[in-house]
């Protein structure tokens, strides 16, 4: 089950027209990366828990047959929180379920997580991940045997006894969900898990020290693209390698177009002579760069056009954005669908 009902407010304006579950992460929607991970342990039946613009998500994934899965949808009439969303999907769940927060990407070893859950006899197993600044998160404390003992929300420095936080991945015995009241807003983190511990059920922790990121902010969304291009988060991109970059076969680079590795040029893109696709850049698809345009350390969604001599650096551009001739879209800029930056205009940090 994938909890994907949030409105993605931290990613606005990118998510005003596109729900967070289907924002592109290089060459595929966000949730496709989670489906790819689940496929490694043979999961073929998935429940998407949705609340915000569910029709847009369903239009992308349908019944799952196109990606070799069976996908069903549990849609909330009003937001129920993480626990309420799981309880709402109860009719679709098997005896044991894997639950993912819908805004994370990770290379966690799911077979190892499942093995720990099975051998420990746990009612629930939480994946934890270490963070460098524990005071900014809610901490999860586990004993030497890996059994979760308590949760500490946004601790002050004197309360920090561990560096591990909830990574948003759980294995649950469905019978335990009786602790969640139906059709009310409920937190799985603050309500359900503490209730399990108080009842005496075994709640186990699996500490993952590999790749993990919450892509819910523009900074993190940009970071995950850098991580994929630089190999920190391994993704098999459907584009041949060309001088250290990935260039889709259905794209066109005119003679004299420049690539600075690592970057990604997706299907349908057209890069004119004298234009530059710089390091850290992702052109998702159908992007046009005119002569002399340059893009670096940025993510451009389908239908973006960059005018002659324009510069895009450290920015996020949603579908259909048009950047005019000699305009500058600089670090920190985040432009919503259909935005227009007129000729010679400047926006973003450092614009002058």
**Domains in the chain, ordered, with CATH?**
2-218 (3.90.550.10), 237-347 (2.160.10.10)
Task: Give me the chain's average pLDDT, please.
Answer: 89
pLDDT interval class at 247 (50, 70, 90): very high
Q: pLDDT-derived band of residue 269, with 50, 70 and 90 as boundaries?
A: very high
Is pLDDT of 94 > 80? yes
Torsion over CA of 267, 269, 274 and 277, rounded to 10 degrees?
-60
Q: What is the DSSP letter of 90?
A: G
Q: Residue 22, CB half-sphere, CA atoms under 13 Å: how many?
A: 18
CB 181 within 8 A of CB 101: no
Half-sphere exposure of 272 (CA within 13 A, CB side): 14
Confirm if 286 and 248 have CB atoms less than 8 A apart. Answer: no
Asked if residue 237 has pLDDT above 70, the reply is yes
Among 176, 115, 173, 175, smallest CA distance to 146 is for: 115
Kindly state the average pLDDT of the residues 52-57. Answer: 85
Tokens of 199: 């009842």
Note the pLDDT of residue 232. 93
Mean pLDDT value of segment 96-104:
89
Q: Which two tokens stand for residue 166?
A: 């909830």
Min mean pLDDT across 84-88, 114-118, 272-276 is at 84-88
Residue 150 has a pLDDT of 80
Q: Predicted confidence band at 350 (pLDDT cuts at 50, 70, 90)?
A: low
Residue pair 298/316 in contact (Cβ under 8 Å)? The answer is yes
Structure tokens at 20: 């967070």
In this predicted structure, what is the pLDDT of residue 20? 87
pLDDT at 140 over 90: no
Average pLDDT score over residue span 272-300: 96
Taking a C-beta distance cutoff of 8 angstroms, is the pair 57, 81 a contact? no
Which 3 state secondary structure label does DSSP give 312? strand
pLDDT surpassing 70 at residue 279 = yes
Phi, psi of 293 (to 5 degrees): -75, 150
Q: Tokens 């609340």 correspond to what residue?
A: 51
Question: What is residue 290's predicted lDDT score, i.e. its pLDDT?
Answer: 97
Average pLDDT over residues 212-228: 93
Q: Which two tokens stand for residue 85?
A: 């969303």
pLDDT category of residue 136 using cuts at 50, 70 and 90: low
Rg of the Cα atoms in the chain = 22
Give the mean model confidence (pLDDT) for residues 173-190: 85
pLDDT number for residue 41? 87
Q: Give the whole-angstrom CA distance, residue 225 versus residue 243.
A: 18
Answer whether residue 190 shows pLDDT above 90: no
Helix (H), strand (E), coil (C) string for 124-187: EEEEEEECCCHHHCCEEEECCCCEEEEEECCCCHHHCCCCEEEEEEEEEEHHHHHHCCCCCCCC
Tell me which of 225 and 79 has the higher pLDDT: 225
Q: Which residues pair with 151 in a beta bridge?
A: 140
pLDDT digits (tens, 9 = 90+) for 198-219: 899 999 999 999 999 988 899 9
Largest CA distance in the chain: 68
Q: Dig out the tokens for 270 from the structure.
A: 């057209």
Question: pTM of whole model > 0.85?
Answer: yes
pLDDT tens figures, 325-349: 999 999 999 999 999 999 999 998 7
pLDDT: is 215 or 317 the higher one? Answer: 317
Look at residue 149 in the predicted model and tell me its pLDDT.
85
Pairwise CA distance, residues 35 & 280, whole Å: 25
Predicted pLDDT of residue 26: 94
pLDDT at 155 over 80: no
DSSP 8-state code for residue 14 = T
Whole-number pLDDT of residue 205: 93
Q: How far apart are CA 99 and CA 300, in angstroms?
A: 31
C-alpha closest to that of 257 among 275, 243, 244, 245: 275
| 3-state secondary structure (DSSP) of residue 115 | helix
């Amino acid at each position: 089950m994938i909890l994907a009902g949030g409105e993605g407010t931290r990613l606005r304006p990118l998510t005003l027209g596109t729900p967070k579950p289907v924002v592109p992460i290089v060459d595929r929607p966000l949730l496709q990366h989670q489906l790819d991970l689940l496929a490694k342990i043979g999961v073929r039946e998935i429940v998407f828990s949705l609340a915000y613009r569910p029709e847009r998500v369903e239009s992308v994934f349908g019944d799952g047959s196109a990606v070799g899965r069976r996908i069903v949808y549990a849609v909330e009439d009003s937001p129920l929180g993480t626990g309420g969303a799981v309880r709402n999907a109860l009719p679709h769940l098997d005896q044991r379920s894997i639950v993912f927060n819908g805004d994370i990407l990770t290379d966690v070893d799911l077979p190892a997580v499942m093995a720990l859950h099975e051998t420990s006899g746990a009612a629930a197993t939480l994946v934890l991940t270490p963070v460098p600044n524990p005071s900014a998160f809610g901490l999860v404390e586990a004993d030497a045997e890996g059994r979760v003992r308590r949760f500490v929300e946004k601790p002050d420095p004197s309360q920090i006894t561990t560096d591990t936080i909830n990574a948003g991945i759980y294995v649950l015995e469905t019978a335990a969900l009786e602790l969640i009241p139906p059709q009310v807003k409920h937190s799985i983190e603050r309500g359900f898990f503490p209730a399990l511990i108080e009842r005496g059920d075994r709640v186990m922790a699996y500490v993952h020290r590999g790749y993990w990121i919450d892509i819910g902010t523009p900074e993190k969304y940009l970071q995950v693209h850098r991580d994929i291009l630089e190999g920190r988060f391994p993704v098999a991109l459907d584009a041949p390698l060309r001088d250290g970059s990935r260039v889709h076969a259905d794209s066109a680079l005119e003679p004299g177009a420049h690539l600075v590795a690592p970057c990604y040029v997706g299907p349908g893109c057209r890069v004119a002579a004298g234009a530059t696709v710089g390091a850290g850049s992702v052109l998702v698809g159908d992007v046009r760069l005119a002569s002399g345009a340059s893009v670096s350390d940025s993510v451009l969604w389908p239908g973006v056009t960059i005018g002659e001599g324009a510069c895009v650096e450290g920015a996020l551009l949603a579908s259909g954005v048009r950047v005019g001739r000699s305009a500058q879209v600089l670090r920190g800029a985040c432009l919503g669908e259909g935005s227009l930056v007129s000729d010679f205009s400047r926006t973003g940090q450092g614009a002058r």
